[in-house]
């Protein structure tokens, strides 16, 4: 329990504290209505004072609850309840989540860096979760080790989708946001500048987490969140191999691309980031985003202007006082910048108006738009344009099996002839085989199904002479049936009862045989009655109807 809270919304029992962060505490709990173990996140009371936050929080939590994927911690419920704290009533926002038996990555990193292969595996799972959420239009905004769960069975799951957005949309400054989110170590440069964010923001933060997994520390550290955020904008991270010699140059290159200050120079999708990371771990040279080339004077001046502006914004939210920052007033520097800018604009206009030009001795080709086509049609379309095709496959609930989900490079990009275009083809909705749940408790059966990404639908009871009360008799569909991930399965549970029939009027032999049958398995005690004849049963101690398993029944029969 916490702050005297033992029950939320009339159904969630709050148990032991299992984790805490800058904006919430997490408790192990129980859903008394469904009888399952859950994780209960109690947000800090300070967040509940803003009605705008509460409205945004409910909306974002509902959006997160709609996401069902094996790499995302499921959100079952969210809301707020009126609780009493020290004799005063207050609003307590809460989130009911899937309980994961494991630990957070943050705690694991306290033991030191991970093996590069293990770090890449964890990052790959995070990117898979982000690929799913980005397709659903949800940007996480707060990817960090404290939001990544490592289950004991090896699964990696990301949590807190939507919550960071609810916080960010009600916090007006970087300083306020930092106070809520706890750390700026995983900020993207655009977050540090208080600019708009998109999916590439999550990819930068994932690159920071990958760096920390490889080296045991974040790429940037400072005495305050402001100092760290400033480094994200203005300083280049060192190569991970300088801190951990076991990191290969290929992985160094992937991390460097992920941490590009300009989001247009990073990986443009979680799938591309994951693919290139896997290539690097396998010892192959990854295909990295092309970095833009700028004149040194222009790049330095622009970076200095960005850094100064960022510092002004950050200091405005964290401290006040006279500025000591100064810039060289030389007019010729700005004349040079304007001159270079004019030349660059002229070059861009010239290039845009060019048709296909010679690239490496071959004419360039525009990548065709094949998204939504069948694999066969897409392959034919690409090969007709004298390009090569490499096919990747992945499960996707929205794109029909056999159709193209995406291509790399994207449609319209000019590439040399014979360039290898990678297309990702849908395998359709992932199918999983239902396990045999017979004899398991309801909680154990739910956990087994949820680990496969399957929800429990309706539960019903049936009398059974052999299966103990509360344990599973069967499921619908039955065991070994192939079902879609994300679908639901109904459970049939034992009531612990048997239905006793009326045996009065039957011969004692037939009555005893029926009561002792496999369907009833009752303990029968025949009692003779010499006052009548015919060997027929005249009385039974248990009335016809439901009675506990393995009950004892006395039957009185005539022996005169």
pLDDT at 310 over 50: no
Same domain assignment for residues 87 and 196: no
Query: In which band, very low, low, confident or very high, does the pLDDT at 254 lie, cut at 50, 70 and 90?
Result: very high
Residue 288: inside a domain: no
User: Residue 493's pLDDT is what?
Assistant: 95
User: Residue 143's pLDDT is what?
Assistant: 94
For residue 507, list its beta bridge partners: 536
Same domain assignment for residues 512 and 489: no
Residue 114: inside a domain: yes
Check if 252 is active-site.
Answer: no
Residue 221: inside a domain: yes
Same domain assignment for residues 126 and 202: yes
User: CATH number for the domain including 446?
Assistant: 3.30.10.20
Query: E-strand spans in 258-387?
Result: 358-359, 362-366
Neighbours of 398 (CB within 10 A): 10
Same domain assignment for residues 366 and 234: no
User: Residue 337's pLDDT is what?
Assistant: 58
390-426 pLDDT tens trace: 888 888 878 898 999 988 878 887 777 778 888 989 9
Percentage of residues of the chain with pLDDT beyond 90: 45
Query: In which band, very low, low, confident or very high, does the pLDDT at 307 lie, cut at 50, 70 and 90?
Result: very low
Alpha helices in 353-483 (DSSP H): 375-384, 442-451
Single out the residue in 64, 83, 98 at which a domain terminates.
Answer: 98
Q: Are 418 and 388 in contact (CB under 8 A)?
A: yes
Single out the residue in 76, 98, 120 at which a domain terminates.
Answer: 98
188-229 pLDDT tens trace: 999 888 888 899 999 999 999 999 999 999 999 888 888 888
- Averaging pLDDT over each range in 154-163, 340-349, 416-425, 516-525, which range is the top one? 516-525
User: Residue 306's pLDDT is what?
Assistant: 45
Same domain assignment for residues 528 and 384: no
Within 8 A by CB and 6+ apart from 328, the residues are: none
Same domain assignment for residues 343 and 476: no
User: Residue 346's pLDDT is what?
Assistant: 55
pLDDT at 534 over 80: yes
Query: In which band, very low, low, confident or very high, does the pLDDT at 341 lie, cut at 50, 70 and 90?
Result: low
Residue 159: inside a domain: yes
Average pLDDT over residues 97-106: 92
Same domain assignment for residues 313 and 372: no
The residue among 398 and 182 whose pLDDT is bigger is: 398
Dihedral of CA atoms 341, 343, 347, 349 in degrees, nearest 10, equals 70
User: Residue 165's pLDDT is what?
Assistant: 61
Single out the residue in 495, 512, 532 at which a domain terminates.
Answer: 495
Average pLDDT over residues 348-361: 44
Domain count, the chain: 6
Q: Could you please report the per-residue DSSP string of 69-105?
A: -TTBPPEEEEEEEEEEETTEEEEEEEEEEE--SEEEH
User: Measured in Å, how far apart are the chain's first and last C-alpha atoms?
Assistant: 69
108: left (phi over 0), alpha (psi -120 to 50) or beta: alpha
Same domain assignment for residues 303 and 442: no
User: Residue 280's pLDDT is what?
Assistant: 92
- Averaging pLDDT over each range in 163-167, 182-186, 307-311, 517-521, which range is the top one? 517-521
34-79 pLDDT tens trace: 899 999 988 877 776 777 777 777 776 777 777 888 999 988 888 8
Same domain assignment for residues 204 and 145: yes
User: Looking up tokens 């239905």, which residue turns up?
Assistant: 499
Q: Among residues 142, 160, 202, 256, which one is catalytic?
A: 142
pTM for this model (two decimals)? 0.52
Same domain assignment for residues 135 and 277: yes
Q: Could you please report the per-residue DSSP string of 516-546?
A: TSTTT-PEEEEEEETTS-SSBEEEESSPSEE
Same domain assignment for residues 136 and 276: yes
129-159 pLDDT tens trace: 999 999 988 888 889 999 999 999 889 999 8
Domain that holds residue 511: 498-558
Percentage of residues of the chain with pLDDT beyond 70: 81
383-392 pLDDT tens trace: 988 888 888 8
User: Residue 38's pLDDT is what?
Assistant: 95
User: Residue 4's pLDDT is what?
Assistant: 62
Same domain assignment for residues 436 and 477: yes
Residue 328: inside a domain: no
Average pLDDT along the chain: 81
Within 8 A by CB and 6+ apart from 84, the residues are: 4, 90
User: Residue 298's pLDDT is what?
Assistant: 32
Residue 370: inside a domain: yes
Q: Picking from 73-77, 120-124, 272-276, 294-298, which range would have the lowest pLDDT averaged per residue? A: 294-298
Average pLDDT over residues 515-520: 93
CA distance 61 to 69: 16
Q: Picking from 250-264, 282-296, 391-405, 478-492, which range would have the lowest pLDDT averaged per residue? A: 282-296
Dihedral of CA atoms 405, 409, 410, 416 in degrees, nearest 10, equals -130
Give 197's Cβ-side CA count (13 Å radius): 26
Average pLDDT over residues 6-16: 90
CA distance 184 to 178: 6
Average pLDDT over residues 269-294: 83
Residue 521: inside a domain: yes
User: Residue 338's pLDDT is what?
Assistant: 60
Residue 228: inside a domain: yes
């Amino acid at each position: 329990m916490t702050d005297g809270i033992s029950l939320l919304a009339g159904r969630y029992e709050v148990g032991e504290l299992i984790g805490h962060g800058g904006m919430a505490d997490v408790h192990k709990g129980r859903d008394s209505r469904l009888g399952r173990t859950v994780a209960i996140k109690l947000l800090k009371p300070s967040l509940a004072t803003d009605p705008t936050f509460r409205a945004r929080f409910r909306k974002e939590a509902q959006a997160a609850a709609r996401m069902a994927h094996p790499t995302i911690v499921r959100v079952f419920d969210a809301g707020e309840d009126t609780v009493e704290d020290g004799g005063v009533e207050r609003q307590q926002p809460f989130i009911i989540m899937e309980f994961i038996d494991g630990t957070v990555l943050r705690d694991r990193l306290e033991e030191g860096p991970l093996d590069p292969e293990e770090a890449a595996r964890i990052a790959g799972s995070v990117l898979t979760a982000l690929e799913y959420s980005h397709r659903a239009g949800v940007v996480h905004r707060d990817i960090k080790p404290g939001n990544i769960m490592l289950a004991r069975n090896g699964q990696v799951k990301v949590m807190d989708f939507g919550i960071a957005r609810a916080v960010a949309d009600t916090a007006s400054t970087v300083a306020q946001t930092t106070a809520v989110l706890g750390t700026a170590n995983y900020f993207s440069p655009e977050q540090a500048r208080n600019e708009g964010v998109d999916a590439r923001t999550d990819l930068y933060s994932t690159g920071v987490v990958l760096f920390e997994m490889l080296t045991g520390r974040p790429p940037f550290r400072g005495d305050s969140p402001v100092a760290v955020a400033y480094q994200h904008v203005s300083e280049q991270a060192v190569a991970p191999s300088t801190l951990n010699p076991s990191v290969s140059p290929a992985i160094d290159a992937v991390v460097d691309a992920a941490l590009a200050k300009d989001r247009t120079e990073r990986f443009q999708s979680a799938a591309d980031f994951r693919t290139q990371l896997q290539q690097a771990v396998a010892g192959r040279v990854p295909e990295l985003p092309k970095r833009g080339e700028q004149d040194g004077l222009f790049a330095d001046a622009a970076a200095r202007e960005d850094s100064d502006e960022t510092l002004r914004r950050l200091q405005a939210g964290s401290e006040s006082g006279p500025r000591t920052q100064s810039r060289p007033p030389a007019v010729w520097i700005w004349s040079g910048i304007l001159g270079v800018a004019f030349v660059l604009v002229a070059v861009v206009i010239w290039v845009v108006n060019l048709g296909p030009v010679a690239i490496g001795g071959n004419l360039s080709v525009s990548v065709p738009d094949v998204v939504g086509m069948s694999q066969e049609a897409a392959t034919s379309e690409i090969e007709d344009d004298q390009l090569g095709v490499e096919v990747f496959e992945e499960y996707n609930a929205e794109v029909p099996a056999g159709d193209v989900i995406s291509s790399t490079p994207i449609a319209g990009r000019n590439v040399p002839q014979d360039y290898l275009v990678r297309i990702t083809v849908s395998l359709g909705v992932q199918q999983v085989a239902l396990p045999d749940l017979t004899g398991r408790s309801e909680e154990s059966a739910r956990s087994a199904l949820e680990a496969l990404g399957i929800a429990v639908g309706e539960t019903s009871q049936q009398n059974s002479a052999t299966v103990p009360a509360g344990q599973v008799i069967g499921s619908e569909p039955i065991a070994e049936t192939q079902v879609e991930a994300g679908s639901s399965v109904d459970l049939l549970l034992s009531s612990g009862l048997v239905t006793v029939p009326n045996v009065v009027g039957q011969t004692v032999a037939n009555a005893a045989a029926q009561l002792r049958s496999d369907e009833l398995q009752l303990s029968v005690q025949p009692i003779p009655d010499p006052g009548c004849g015919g060997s027929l049963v005249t009385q039974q101690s248990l009335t016809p109807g439901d009675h506990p398993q393995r009950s004892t029944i006395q039957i009185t029969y005539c022996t005169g």
